[in-house]
Amino acid sequence: MRPLKILRSDGLFRYKELKKKQVIKIILALFLSLVVIGAAFFTVYAVSRSMTAEESDEKTGELQADATTVMTIARGEFCSLLLPDEVDINDVAFTSSDERIIRVDAAGRVEGRAEGDAVVTAASEDFTASCNFRVKGEKKTPEVTEVTTAYTANADILAENIKEGKTNRLYRITVNRRTNTVTVFTYDKDGKYTVPVRAMVCSCGAGGPNITPVGEYRTASSREWAALYGDETHDILYGQYVTEFNGEYLFHSVPYESQNKYALEIAEFNKLGTNASQGCVRLSVSDSYWIYKNCPLNTPVSVVDADASADPLGTPPTVEQKIYNGWDPTDPDEINPFSGKRPRILNIEDVTVKKGSDFDPMEGVLSKDICGNIITERVAVSGKVLTDKPGVYFITYSITDDFHLSRTATRIVTVK
């Protein structure tokens, strides 16, 4: 939408015959009019934004009358064909020359189905255009290398530092006990540890006698399992992927009731992000494993008590574990029952709706992460249904949870 322009004839306002009060009244009236027009403009703009169906990363192809557009997409990839403004989409029929390779819906949304070439034609009584599609390769999906809520950054700088081979001084760890955040830094071009590469949520000491002491330390011994604490009145608890940094103070997983990966204290896991430990720094298994695997002996560790400004990547989210199977959902062990799981999108079966009726693509839709938390509000929808135009429509639902795990699914909506 183009910005509104306020025009005035002759470029002049003649106020000579008006009294001062009348001038003021007119100025106020003009000002109020501008406010109303501006509000109306903003409202129309906001509505037009909210009603735009293609707020996604999908490719688009612009069709022109009696012309051919050429596009390449991957198998499993969608794109949308855009008509000229003067063409009413309700009058246009979209067809594919080979639906085994390319299929197109009644709104001009195209899906690559198999490698090859196909032509999509858009035609009405007064308009004809086509798009030559080549389907090549498969749509790339992010590879899941670990299940974690951690934030990562500056992978290029880290990769260059790793190439230098100075693995014994690659990292410096900062623990902010006030925000329960662990940030790992690598060195910059001047050799100073100013480049954040990973942030992890943790649980520091609960306070009182159970406090994580501020100071400068270095990592020492590490082991896969270690007894954490216990006495005559308390059972011994264990930590997985344990790295010492200050005598009895350790980086480790949330406690386990035994040295079995199915014996996690889930109630303690759900305290991550709060001050809950007896002084050690608790992490999810994936994050304690990351330190165990990547931070060698004598890696510097700073424990600070600071506000969020000390955490350049921020504090990652926590995820409540609602599936009481005794496992940490981030444990990289392949026998972990969470292994290979992704968030779910439910109630998106194919549906037929009556012409002229209302259709809400999110009605009844439910999404849950791998721990059973409802995350429906994060579902993104691509595609649109024109309920005044009979035909078949493709609606795609996408979700990414706090573990950076994703799922995409497409339903077919038929308007009759």
* DSSP per position, 258-299: SSSTT-B-HHHHTTTTSS-BSSSEEE-HHHHHHHHHH--TT-
> In this structure, are residues 225 and 240 in contact, taking their beta carbons and an 8 Å threshold?
yes
Task: State the burial class of residue 72 (Cβ atoms within 10 Å of its Cβ: 0-12, 13-18, 19+).
Answer: middle
Q: Which fold has domain 151-310?
A: L,D-transpeptidase catalytic domain-like (2.40.440)
Phi, psi angle pair for 336, to nearest 5°: -60, 125
pLDDT, residue 16, reads 33
Q: CA–CA separation, 127 vs 83, rounded Å?
A: 10
Q: CA–CA separation, 187 vs 170, rounded Å?
A: 7
Q: Which two tokens stand for residue 187?
A: 């060195």
Our CA angle for 382, 388, 389, nearest 5°, is: 75
> In this structure, are residues 130 and 119 in contact, taking their beta carbons and an 8 Å threshold?
yes
Q: Which fold has domain 344-415?
A: Immunoglobulin-like (2.60.40)
Predicted TM-score (pTM) of the model is 0.82
Q: CA–CA separation, 54 vs 82, rounded Å?
A: 11
Our CA angle for 360, 366, 372, nearest 5°, is: 165
E strands present in 289-374? 300-304, 344-346, 351-353, 366-368
Given the DSSP bridges, would you call strands 151-152 and 172-176 parallel, antiparallel or unpaired?
A: unpaired
pLDDT per residue as tens, the chain (416 positions): 333 322 222 332 223 333 344 444 444 555 455 444 444 333 333 332 222 333 457 899 999 998 899 999 999 999 999 999 999 999 999 999 999 999 999 999 999 999 999 999 999 999 999 999 999 999 888 788 899 999 999 999 999 999 998 878 999 999 999 999 999 999 999 999 999 999 999 999 999 999 999 999 999 999 999 999 755 556 789 999 999 999 999 999 999 999 999 999 999 999 999 999 999 999 999 999 999 999 999 999 999 999 999 999 999 999 999 998 999 999 999 999 999 999 999 999 999 999 999 999 999 999 999 999 999 999 999 999 999 999 999 999 999 999 999 999 999 999 99
Number of residues that this document lists for the chain: 416
> In this structure, are residues 204 and 277 in contact, taking their beta carbons and an 8 Å threshold?
yes
pLDDT, residue 26, reads 43
pLDDT, residue 25, reads 46
Q: CA–CA separation, 354 vs 363, rounded Å?
A: 16
Tens digit of each residue's pLDDT (9 = 90 or more) over 342-364: 999 999 999 999 999 999 999 99
pLDDT, residue 140, reads 84
pLDDT, residue 196, reads 98
Q: CA–CA separation, 361 vs 383, rounded Å?
A: 10
Question: Looking up tokens 């760890």, which residue turns up?
Answer: 173
Of 291, 297, 285, 303, which Cα lies nearest the Cα of 239? 285
Tens digit of each residue's pLDDT (9 = 90 or more) over 134-155: 999 998 887 888 999 999 999 9
Q: What is the DSSP letter of 305?
A: -
Q: Quick count: other Cβ atoms within 10 Å of Cβ 201?
A: 26
> In this structure, are residues 238 and 256 in contact, taking their beta carbons and an 8 Å threshold?
yes
Where residue 169 falls (left for φ over 0; alpha for ψ -120 to 50; beta otherwise) is alpha
Q: Which two tokens stand for residue 94?
A: 């979209």
pLDDT, residue 230, reads 55
Secondary-structure class of domain 59-138 per CATH:
mainly beta
Q: What are the Cα distances from residue 105, in Å, to 76, 108, 257, 298, 387?
A: 15, 5, 55, 60, 13
